[in-house]
Structure 1
Amino acid sequence: MEIMPRPRPPHLHRETTRHGKTVWYVRADKGRRIRINADFGSPEFQQAYHAAVSDQQPHPTEKAPRGTLEWLWLLYRQSIAWRDLSMATRKQRENIMLHVLKSAGREPLSRIDRKAILKGRERRADTPSQAKNFLSTMRGLFTWAVDADLVRTDPTQGIAAKKSKGAKAAGFPVWTDQEIATFERRWPRGTRERVMFDMFLYTGLRRGDAAVVGKQHVRHGVISIQTEKTGMWVTIPILPELQTTLDAGPTGDLAFIATANGNPLTKESLGNLFRDACRAAGIQKSAHGLRKAAATNAANHGATVAELEAIFGWAGGQMASLYTRSANRRALSAGAMNKLSRTETETSIPAPSDKVRAAAPKTQQ
């Protein structure tokens, strides 16, 4: 018999049919019911649950006029191209389009031209990541629309996202060993903050994956989870440090990182809680900085590109190569430093032979 987790995760309901079959479904408030067709407690169940929760959002009830941006967007959300996107990408693009449609949803597609896209990018220039995501969202929409013969041209063609300058170009700063030790002193084992921290540090999972990983993802001491962002499966052995932290708790039923009541957290809530924990420890860094610290540590200990991709869910070699190149440069630098030593250089030069001395010009006394 299935055991219902206590307390019950948000919006998850159970009912028994007249044939005695247990049915699980997600329903937020008076929204539509989304049935979960997977065995309770399995990784597929967990994935379907979070996908259903993410899908529980209001949809426009008024029919959008044909030929408008909103009309095109609604059609796009029903396409195979949209369904092929990861849940994280869908949610990100929906959040962007909420603002776009509010101001330009009823604009005819003929007015969504290159000039309009450039203006949208420039309005987000102060936050380069938003500008980049805006451009990716509009490009995905119009690339599909061209293929579907709904528009003739893609107004995003040839437009590139502007790169950040200065400190922002380096992305999220990596945690130092001193900062890691500081956090551990402030949040010892037995606190939820330490569970969050060690989950990030010893798995390298992104925030969205760390929010959902739980006991159902672990088999024989190995975490196996399909990543939210790329859809790739990663297998991560639970290191002794992490296992000790999980044993100390507190953890939840469907997710290791949970609310005070044991319920799973959204990735946004997890990000906010972890940020607060960092500030309380006097550290101004992020969870993604810990992911980078984990990748740096693995590369410095000799992890190959293939091994890094297996751990962190990357593909194509580009991202993993950044870390292995850095590690290789560090090793080469350490091994070559003696070549800069004047003492080493002088002692390593062999003394000239008698013939060389005889041939050398005599200096005046």
Structure 2
Amino acid sequence: MPRPLPPCLQRERTRHGAIIFYVRKKHGPRVRLRAEFGTPEFWEEYRRAMADETPASTAKTPKAGTIAWGFALYRRSSAWAGLSNSTRRARENILRQIVESSGEKMLTQISQATIIAGREKRAKAPHSANAFLKTLRTFFGWAAGEGGLVKVDPTIGVKLLKGPNDADGFHTWTEEEVRRFEEAWPVGTRERLALDLLLYTGLRRGDAARLGRQHVRDGVLTIRTEKTGEVVSLPILEPLARSIAATNTGDMTFLVTERGAPFVKESFGNWFKKACVKAKVPGSAHGLRKAGATRAAENGATERELMALFGWTSGKMATHYTRAASQKRLAQDAASLLLPKQTTNKSARTKRSGAGASAKKR
């Protein structure tokens, strides 16, 4: 029997006899998939259709000069189009929340104090507060520049908050937590394959979810990352190769759902989080990427090597990890200096002739 289609994917024969596929969530609009069925491009379209938000059809035209008006223009700009799909989805949620609470306010009313107040309102969740600030930084940077909507960027000088975890708020897995997860999910399980893909490639969850055999050639994984568009080429390390060989994988992706369909990025993150809970570890998919960066830096990776490995387009994140690893190594090397200085043997080696006899007489 043919394998059942993934969730929300429907097959239809047109009046001309052609077979078409489209995605429809419950009673929502139909999203036509144009690529050939079964190709990487087809599954990429499927993932995007499953992840995209349903557009509001009854939205009113916002008044000129308001926040809602400015956001609408921003969404039609090349600056917005240049963001990755995942970044747009995350920031779209923030923009929508702002419009719901303050969309009728005029852009000229937004000052630095307004931005700080919005950040402080979210201060109990530093990661959310920083995401709010980063979103407005990008918008007002465009609005005060190419957009020409405001004269001054009110986000200038407003600092990000420091959270209880790392800079981006995700817990970095420890080596002990990795071992605990491995004990709970042995080689051959989908959960273990997910961990090995994330840890031994350093890919983000969206890239790891769409990784498949079509990305492998001569033992090397090559994939264009979703967020930055950088092409990353990585050798398949022995632990990962062993895990892939022992696991039932999909046709186009290594990781598949129980029904054999490719994961959507968001559902993959939720599924992996449940696996972490069962293994009694506090981690997440992104935390494994950070654990890999920490491990590589502590093993001596340079900033340029980290940038190539993790697909970073700037050295900011690489510097963060190499600096932390350098501080750790320096502290370990310097710890012996806290011990009392041993002088007995050194003085015995440096005595001049007759020094001992003179000391006894004195």
TM norm. shorter chain > 0.5: yes
Comparing 81-90 and 274-283, the one that deviates more: 274-283
Cα distance in 1 for partners of 2:256, 2:76 equals: 33
| CA shift digits 1:256-315 (9 cap, x unpaired) | 222211222333322222222222222223333322221222223332222221111113
Comparing 291-300 and 146-155, the one that deviates more: 146-155
| CA shift digits 1:325-347 (9 cap, x unpaired) | 34444445555666666586654
User: What's 1:51 paired with?
Assistant: 48
Summarize the Cα distance change of 1:326–1:139 in structure 2 as closer, same or farther, 3 Å threshold. closer
Determine whether 1:8 maps to 2:23: no
TM-score (normalizing by structure 1): 0.83
Residue identity in the other structure for 2:56:
H
Contact 1:200 1:210 in 2 (8 A): yes
- From 201, 206, 211, the equivalent of 1:203 is 201
User: What's 1:63 paired with?
Assistant: 60
How far has the Cα of 1:77 moved from its partner?
1.3
Q: Secondary structure at the match of 2:221?
A: strand
What does 1:46-195 correspond to in 2, within 5 Å? Answer: 46-67=43-64, 68-148=66-146, 150-164=148-162, 171-195=169-193
How far has the Cα of 1:350 moved from its partner?
5.5
Residue identity in the other structure for 1:9:
P
Comparing 281-290 and 332-341, the one that deviates more: 332-341
Cα distance in 2 for partners of 1:292, 1:306 equals: 16
% identical equivalent positions: 43
Determine whether 1:287 maps to 2:289: no
Q: Secondary structure at the match of 1:234?
A: strand
Contact 2:115 2:155 in 1 (8 A): no
Summarize the Cα distance change of 1:252–1:80 in structure 2 as closer, same or farther, 3 Å threshold. same
Q: How many residues align?
A: 360
Contact 1:69 1:106 in 2 (8 A): yes
**Gap runs ≥5 in structure 2:** none
How far has the Cα of 1:84 moved from its partner?
0.4
Q: Secondary structure at the match of 1:174?
A: coil
Residue identity in the other structure for 2:139:
L
Contact 1:69 1:104 in 2 (8 A): yes
Contact 1:202 1:294 in 2 (8 A): yes
How far has the Cα of 1:53 moved from its partner?
3.3
Q: Secondary structure at the match of 1:147?
A: coil
User: What's 2:218 paired with?
Assistant: 220
How far has the Cα of 1:112 moved from its partner?
3.8
Q: What's the RMSD between the two structures over aligned residues? A: 3.4
How far has the Cα of 1:9 moved from its partner?
3.5
Q: Secondary structure at the match of 2:222?
A: strand
Cα distance in 1 for partners of 2:80, 2:180 equals: 43
Comparing 8-17 and 126-135, the one that deviates more: 8-17
Contact 1:124 1:131 in 2 (8 A): yes
Cα distance in 2 for partners of 1:225, 1:110 equals: 44
How far has the Cα of 1:85 moved from its partner?
0.5
Comparing 83-92 and 237-246, the one that deviates more: 237-246
User: What's 1:315 paired with?
Assistant: 313
Comparing 171-180 and 93-102, the one that deviates more: 171-180
Cα distance in 1 for partners of 2:337, 2:69 equals: 67
Summarize the Cα distance change of 1:24–1:305 in structure 2 as closer, same or farther, 3 Å threshold. farther
Contact 2:206 2:226 in 1 (8 A): yes
| CA shift digits 1:192-246 (9 cap, x unpaired) | 2212222222112222222222233223332222222222221222222112222
Contact 2:112 2:156 in 1 (8 A): no
Residue identity in the other structure for 2:74:
Y
